[in-house]
Copies of this chain bind each other. A is one copy, B any other.
Amino acid sequence: MYEKKIPKSFDCGFSVLMEIIGGKWKSYLLYLIDQGVRRPTALQRAIPSASRRVLDLQLRELESHGILQRKIYPELPPKVEYSLTPFGESLLPVIASMDRWGEKHLAQFEQLVKQKPVEPQPHGG
């Protein structure tokens, strides 16, 4: 893994949450796992635009953060299933509320982004 040069400090709750779900695909992974898509390959097929590597890395991070549990079945070919821990499940309402806000304001946001970004104000008349 990549080793950070600047240590992280979690001085507020927000930074803790962002450390946990900040990765590009993490919230989507949690959503899919909650929907029953549990195996790495299935998750990769469900998110084809993400690289296999990052999905693995982010799943492992979620595991190391106590959000997911990883269960290995001693079969061949190997079988692995991820599931949400109770800690992970406590996260779902927060993610849902984030998602709801975004859904609700999506149209407004897209409109704003489409516009010319800045209309200059008169400056020091």
The residues of A with any CB-CB pair to B shorter than 8 Å are 10, 12-20, 22, 27-28, 63-66, 70, 72, 74-76, 78, 87, 90-91, 94-95, 97-106, 108-110, 112-113, 117-118, 121-125
Instruction: Given A12-B99, A74-B123, output 13 extra A-B contacts at Cβ < 8 Å.
Output: A10-B106, A13-B98, A13-B105, A14-B27, A14-B98, A16-B103, A17-B99, A65-B112, A66-B112, A75-B124, A87-B105, A90-B101, A98-B98
Tell me whether B106 and A16 are in contact (CB under 8 A): yes
Q: Which of A101, A110, A124 counts the most B-chain CB atoms under 10 A from its CB?
A: A101
Q: A7: shortest Cβ distance to chain B, in Å? A: 11
Q: Which among B20, B72, B102, B104 is the interface contact of A14 at CB below 8 angstroms?
A: B102
Query: Which B residues touch A17, using CB under 8 A?
Result: 98-99, 101-102
Q: A20: shortest Cβ distance to chain B, in Å? A: 7
Tell me whether B64 and A124 are in contact (CB under 8 A): no
Q: A4: shortest Cβ distance to chain B, in Å? A: 13
Q: A16: shortest Cβ distance to chain B, in Å? A: 4
Tell me whether A110 and B10 are in contact (CB under 8 A): yes
- Pairs A-B, 7 closest by C-beta atoms: A13-B102, A13-B103, A16-B102, A13-B99, A66-B112, A17-B102, A14-B99
